[in-house]
Amino acid sequence: MRQKSLPPLNWLRSFEVSARALNFTHAAEELHLTQGAVSQQIRQLESHLGVALFKRLPRGLDLTEEGQSYLPVVQDAISRLAVGTNEIFGQHKRRPVKVRGSLSFLQYWLAPRLLDFSREYPHIDIRYISNLWVKAPDGEDDLEVRWGNGEWPGLHAQRLTWDVLVPVCSPALMARSPIRQPGDLRHHPLLHVLGYEEGWGYWLKRVGADDVDYSRGLQFDTMISTIRMAELGQGVALARSSVVEDLLRDGQLVAPFSQRIEASESFYLVREQGRPLPPDAALFSSWLVAQAHRPA
C-alpha cells in the first residue's frame, strides 16, 4: 500500500495550536500569523490528508473524529522534535567541544579527570564519540585521541601518554594459579586485542618465552574488552600502562612481571593542521595536555 507523504511542519504546527485553542484567531495570535494564513494552512492540511479535521461551527470549532485521533500523534511528534533540538543544540549559543577517540582511553584515563575539568570550566560541554578504527578527518570533530606513533600527515599531534606493555590479571586468578615467570602464561588463556602491532607474540619474544603458544586465547576488538575479561579472572591481558594504572593502584588488577618493555606507540591528541580551534576546544586541548604532563 502506498504511504501518505508527510505534510509540511508548519501545517502540523497550525493544526496543533488550533486544536488546542479551538479558535483560528487565537491560534494566529500564538503563531504570529494572520487568521487567514492559519485557516489556509488547515485547509491545505485537510486537502493533503483527504479528511476534515475540524467541524466549523457557528460559534467556534470542534475536532472531527479524525482530528481527535490525529492530535495526540502530532503533539507527540512536535514535542519529540522540541526535546531533541534542545538536547543537541541547547538553549544557548555555545556548542560542545567535539572529541572522537578511544573508548579505553575515555574509560580508564580521561573519565576520572573530567570531573576536575567540569568543576573548573562548568560552562564548557564535552561530546566524546568513541571509535574503534581511525578515520580520516572530516571536519566534524574538533579533536581526536589516537593510538599510534604520532606521525599522521596533515595532523598536529601532542603526546598524552608514555606507555609500557604490562601483562595484567585479576588477584583471584593469581591466587588460583600463581604466575611467577613468563613461561607460566602457557597455563592461562591469553586475551588479545585486534589491531595492535605489539601484541602477545611481540611481548613473549622480547622476554624470551618462546615456548608459549601466543596464537591461542580470546580475541576482542577493543582494549576495554580485554581489561574487563582480565578483571573477571578470565585470562591475562597485555595492557598499556596508561590504561591500567588506576586499576593496578586500587588492586583490581595485578601485574605479575617486573619486565618493562616500552610500547612504540601511545595515545596522542590530534587535530587538523591549519584549522583554528574554537575557543572552548582550544581551552580543553590545553587542559588535556597539561593533565598528561602532570606527575603521576
Residue 259, C-beta contacts closer than 8 angstroms, at least 6 positions apart? 182, 206, 207
**Alpha-carbon span 62 to 81, nearest angstrom:** 26
| CB distance 98 to 130 below 8 Å | no
Clarify whether residues 109 and 197 are in a common domain.
no
2 within domain boundaries: no
The per-residue pLDDT for range 190-229, each reduced to its tens digit, is: 999 988 889 999 999 999 998 999 999 999 988 999 999 9
Q: How many domains does the chain have?
A: 3
| Ordered strands of the 261-262 beta sheet | 218-220, 190-193, 236-240, 164-168, 261-262
Nearest to residue 256, comparing CAs of 237, 242, 232, 240?
Answer: 237
Laid out side by side, the sheet with 155-159 consists of: 126-130, 97-101, 143-148, 266-272, 155-159
Lookup: cell for 277: 580551534
CA pair distance 280, 286, nearest whole angstrom:
10
Model confidence at 84, in pLDDT bands (50, 70, 90)? confident
CATH of the domain at 186: 3.40.190.10
- Tell whether 98 is covered by a domain: no
For the residues 28-50, what does the mean pLDDT come to? 93
How distant is the alpha carbon of residue 112 from its chain centre?
16
Are the C-beta atoms of 75 and 31 separated by less than 8 Å?
no
Same domain, 79 and 144: no
95 domain residue, yes or no: no
Please calculate the CA angle 65-69-75 and round it to the nearest 5 degrees.
135
Please list, in sequence order, all residues whose beta carbon lies within 8 angstroms of the beta carbon of residue 85, skipping any fewer than 6 positions away: none
Residues 155 and 271 in one domain: yes
Residue 227 belongs to some domain of the structure: yes
How would residue 132 be classed by pLDDT, with cut points 50, 70 and 90? low
Q: Whole-model pTM above 0.75?
A: no
- For residue 95, what pLDDT band results from cuts at 50, 70 and 90? confident
255 and 171 in one domain? yes
Q: How many CB atoms lie within 10 A of CB 39?
A: 19
Question: What residues are paired with 146 via a beta bridge?
Answer: 268
Under the banding of pLDDT at 50, 70 and 90, the label for residue 4 is confident
What is the span of the domain harbouring residue 31?
9-89
Is the pLDDT confidence value at 139 over 80?
Answer: no
Burial (CB < 10 A; 0-12, 13-18, 19+), residue 73, is exposed
Cα gap 266→162, rounded to integer Å: 6
